[in-house]
Amino acid sequence: MATPTEPQFDLDVFTETFVCDLTQNQHADERLNPSLVLIPPSQTQNIHSMTTCSKNNIHKPKLPSESHIRYPLPKALMATVTNNELEPTCYSEAIKYPNWRDAMNKEFDALLRNGTWTLIHSPPTANIIGSKWVYRIKRKADGGIEHFKAHLVAKGFHQQEGVDFLETFSPVVKPTTVRMVLSVAISRGWHLRQIDVKNAFLHGFLNEDVYMAQPPGFIHPQYPQHVCKLHKSIYGLHQAPRVWFSRLTDKLQAIGFKKSQVDHSIYVYQYGSILLYFLIYVDDIILAGVDLNFINHVISLLQSDFPIKNLDELSFFLGVEAI
């Protein structure tokens, strides 16, 4: 018995038939319902003599329906700010306040301990990028101040593609993925932990030769003309998120985690009855798993490579308060 063959699909024939059917249906609709015929915009204007609100450009705002749910803003976004809590825009302004001076000293000490750069004579053909301080106030879920943060940022717009950087893409966990994992974790009674890596971008290793000017206010008195040859990443560099993500995921894979194919910013560990999800959003991390002891073991392994702030139970993540 001959085996029936599947009919071949011809794209040109299908396209021609689809366009013909669409045109015929459109003409038929126009004959049955004249209102479907397109009218030039000039003919749609009101031509009657009655004065209306729309003619006078008076429009009533649309109000949400009864079925529309309006959520209040998080308290952290509604916090009142006093003069002492303003975020400075430059070094000369920040140096006047002890909180910001202390934040800059902590950041600079962290850079030195991390071996971020070496002071050298400026190479004659090197592209020297600038640097500046950026100041941020990190707030708690209730709107109170958690700490003052000063970041030394490289002026990445001075970088030259192909010279100072190559690849720059770095994945972050999607909000839908976060909601999905949290829903599963809560419904199954899993443990949720949140950790924050301090100075995350400072731990990525650079593959390119990058030279940066010394930080404002922290120029070495004996070597004022030297520049910083960067060994590790710093905030503001185009490749900073990528090299940090690479450093962190290399550590996870060494522990035994595997990258999820659904979302590349999720790493999963599964062995026997142990199941642990590791969600990465730059330096903010969520761990969701069955075994609390294993979660603490993973955190201790990460602390051997990175300074980690353990926030214990998940409470406030990406502007969302978990209760």
Domain assignment present for residue 261? The answer is yes
Domain assignment present for residue 224? The answer is yes
Contact assessment for residue 268 and residue 258, using Cβ atoms and an 8 Å cutoff:
yes
Instruction: Give the start-end residues of each E strand in the chain.
Output: 117-120, 128-129, 131-139, 145-154, 191-197, 205-212, 227-232, 258-259, 266-271, 274-281, 284-289, 308-313, 316-317, 320-321
How far is Cα 263 from Cα 174, in angstroms, rounded to an integer? 8
How far is Cα 231 from Cα 235, in angstroms, rounded to an integer? 13
Instruction: Give the start-end residues of each E strand in 52-130.
Output: 117-120, 128-129
Token pair in block for residue 266: 């999720």
Phi and psi dihedrals of 302, rounded to 5? -70, -35
How far is Cα 209 from Cα 164, in angstroms, rounded to an integer? 6
| pLDDT digits 0-9 by tens, 58-67 | 776 666 555 5
Q: In terms of residue numbers, what domain contains 101?
A: 75-321
How far is Cα 107 from Cα 198, in angstroms, rounded to an integer? 10
Helix (H) or strand (E) run with residue 15 in it: helix 11-32
Which residues are 84's β-sheet partners? Answer: none
* DSSP state for residue 113 in the 8-state scheme: H
Tell me what pLDDT residue 10 has.
45
Q: From 239, 257, 261, select the one nearest 249 (Cα to Cα).
A: 257
Tell me what pLDDT residue 54 has.
72
Domain assignment present for residue 54? The answer is no
* DSSP state for residue 142 in the 8-state scheme: T
Domain assignment present for residue 47? The answer is no
Res 148 pLDDT > 80? yes
Tell me what pLDDT residue 39 has.
41
Q: What is the pTM of this model?
A: 0.63
Other C-beta atoms lying within 10 Å of the C-beta of residue 309: 10
Res 224 pLDDT > 80? yes
Helix (H) or strand (E) run with residue 94 in it: helix 91-94
How far is Cα 178 from Cα 139, in angstroms, rounded to an integer? 21
Q: Which residue has the higher pLDDT, 148 or 68?
A: 148
Q: Give the total number of structural domains in the chain.
A: 1
Domain assignment present for residue 145? The answer is yes
Domain assignment present for residue 287? The answer is yes
Res 69 pLDDT > 50? yes
| pLDDT digits 0-9 by tens, 262-284 | 888 999 999 988 999 999 988 88
H runs (alpha helix) in 170-320:
175-188, 240-255, 292-303
Domain assignment present for residue 17? The answer is no
Res 293 pLDDT > 50? yes
Domain assignment present for residue 114? The answer is yes
Other C-beta atoms lying within 10 Å of the C-beta of residue 193: 20
Q: From 105, 119, 314, select the one nearest 213 (Cα to Cα).
A: 119
Tell me what pLDDT residue 24 has.
47
